[in-house]
């Protein structure tokens, strides 16, 4: 029996696959019959290894900024441009009030 390891790819979601009638968990060896026709297919496939190998590192996407592109973000940027300080936890209503007060001063 040969041990075949699925090396996987960079997709963090892909951790288990079925290939040629065998179930593979990324990085874990699976026993395959030496006379199995699938063994030749695994030998020719770079996503599989018959030697002890490390799986491909998964790459997690960058987290999304939930504020970016919102009104809260726009008001913060306006306040930043004018050099007005504010609390990071301030609500959009509070920030709008600071912006309105600054505009009233300039009139």
The verdict on 43 and 6 lying in the same domain is: yes
pLDDT digits (tens, 9 = 90+) for 83-104: 999 999 999 999 999 999 988 8
Q: What is the pTM of this model?
A: 0.50
Per the structure, the count of domains in the chain is 2
Is residue 55 within 8 Å of residue 7, measured between CB atoms? yes
The verdict on 45 and 6 lying in the same domain is: yes
Is residue 96 in some structural domain?
yes
The verdict on 11 and 45 lying in the same domain is: yes
Name the percent of the chain lying above pLDDT 70: 97
Residue 17 has pLDDT above 80, yes or no: yes
The verdict on 6 and 45 lying in the same domain is: yes
Structural domain range at position 93: 71-105
Mean per-residue pLDDT over the chain, rounded: 87
Q: Region 30-47: what's the mean pLDDT? A: 87
Is residue 33 within 8 Å of residue 1, measured between CB atoms? yes
The verdict on 45 and 7 lying in the same domain is: yes
Nearest-CA neighbor of 47 among 26, 21, 30?
Answer: 26
Is residue 40 in some structural domain?
yes
Residue 5 to residues 26, 30, 42, Cα–Cα distance (Å): 7, 6, 9
Strands 2-6, 29-32: pairing is antiparallel
Is residue 22 in some structural domain?
yes
- What was the pLDDT predicted at 14? 84
């Amino acid at each position: 029996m040969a041990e075949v390891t699925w090396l996987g790819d960079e997709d963090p979601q892909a951790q288990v696959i079925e290939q040629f009638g065998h179930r593979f968990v990324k990085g874990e060896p699976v026993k395959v019959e030496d006379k199995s026709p699938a063994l030749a297919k695994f030998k020719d496939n770079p996503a599989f290894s018959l030697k002890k190998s490390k799986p491909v590192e998964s790459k997690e996407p960058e987290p999304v900024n939930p504020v970016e592109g919102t009104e809260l973000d726009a008001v913060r940027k306006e306040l930043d441009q004018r050099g007005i300080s504010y609390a990071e936890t301030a609500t959009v209503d509070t920030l709008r009030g600071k912006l309105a007060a600054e505009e009233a001063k300039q009139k």
